[in-house]
A = this chain, B = another copy of it.
């Protein structure tokens, strides 16, 4: 097997959140030959958008996505409008960083609500409200289906099929500008994974490919994600399916790991990402 091209590896800066600010994380990535990143908005705010954009530009980094827009459902029209306004600010940041896409973690149930159908409609309405502005800015929106264990509080879009249904409703002629982010952690269990990825491929809907691993046991619903190879996900197979569906952009390592990888030296975490991506994530 030939050596994989390191340009096909991106580090989502959540992975180094425990140790580094954005500028420090960029330095760590560069030291390990990684030239693609995906920052979070709070990480950008902490150093300032100008400084973040300069770090990207001067180092010629690829930004595989900005995390995150979304969080559309809310109890009142005013709150929903505030969410839309905030997404438009996220759009500006994504443009300033020349990101490949703006990742949408769409949001869960409004406080006190048990109506997940209504929340899902609010998501579609929220995306519809920003789509044209995003298209004009040439910034694709990547709906990220989240694992069903986050349906209540983070994202009520929980499968690739469901995300594609929203894409098809908002973009029936498939003119683009909206698609999906495929995160191994969220979708690996789906019995329709292969079929849904093929469907995504037919519409050219895949905009990002995130990786980490599902640990057994998983000790925390949010912050106990695993390094590639330490869990049960067949990441090589997933990469084959994603490639077959027409997406050959970088695999983006996104690991929320409060008790493990966030506590190790950033150098060790980054180096391990490269190693495991080489050994466990190649098609």
Give the residue of B116, B148, B153 whose beta carbon is less than 8 angstroms from that of A148. B148
Among A95-121, those with CB < 8 Å from B are 109, 113-116, 120
CB distance from A39 to the nearest CB of B (A): 26
Which range holds the interface residue count of chain A? 20 to 34
Q: When the two chains form their complex, are residues B114 and A234 in contact, meaning their CB atoms are under 8 A apart?
A: yes
Let me know if A234 and B189 touch, CB within 8 A.
no
- Chain B residues in 8 Å Cβ range of A147: 148-149
CB of B191 within 8 A of CB of A159, answer yes
Q: For A188, list chain B residues within 8 Å (CB).
A: 116, 151
Q: List the B residue with the shortest CB-CB distance to A149.
A: B149
With A153-B217, A217-B153, A218-B221 in contact, is A232–B109 under 8 Å at CB? yes
A277 at interface by CB-CB < 8 Å: no
Q: Which residues of A227-255 are within 8 A (CB) of B?
A: 231-234
The docked-state distance in angstroms from the alpha carbon of A156 to that of B158 is 17
**Cα of A114 to Cα of B157 in the assembled complex, Å:** 25
Q: Which of A206-220 contact B (CB under 8 A)?
A: 214, 216-218
Known pairs A149-B218, A153-B216, A218-B149; A234 contacts B115 (CB<8 A): yes
B162, A191: Cβ atoms closer than 8 Å: yes
Beta-carbon contacts under 8 Å, A174-226 to B? 188-191, 214, 216-218, 221
CA distance A159 to B162 in the complex (A): 14
Q: A93 to nearest B CB, angstroms?
A: 28
Name which residue of chain B comes closest to A163, CB basis.
B191
What residues of B have a CB within 8 angstroms of the CB of A157 in the complex?
191
Contact B151 A189 (CB under 8 A): yes
Nearest B residue to A186 by beta-carbon distance? B148
A113 nearest CB neighbor, chain B only: B232
Verify if A130 is at the interface (C-beta below 8 Å from B). Answer: no
Give bound CA distance, A257 to B115, whole Å. 24
B152-A232 in contact (CB<8A): yes
* Residue numbers in B under 8 Å from A114 (CB-CB): 232-234
Residues of A within 8 A of B (CB): 109, 113-116, 120, 147-149, 151-153, 156-159, 161-162, 165, 188-191, 214, 216-218, 221, 231-234
Could you write out 27 A-B pairs with CB less than 8 Å apart? A109-B216, A109-B232, A113-B232, A114-B232, A114-B233, A116-B188, A116-B189, A148-B148, A148-B149, A148-B189, A148-B190, A149-B218, A149-B221, A151-B188, A152-B189, A152-B214, A152-B216, A152-B231, A152-B232, A156-B189, A157-B191, A158-B189, A158-B190, A161-B191, A165-B191, A217-B221, A218-B221
Q: Which 10 A-B pairs have the closest CB atoms?
A: A151-B189, A114-B234, A148-B189, A162-B191, A149-B149, A152-B232, A152-B216, A148-B148, A153-B216, A114-B232
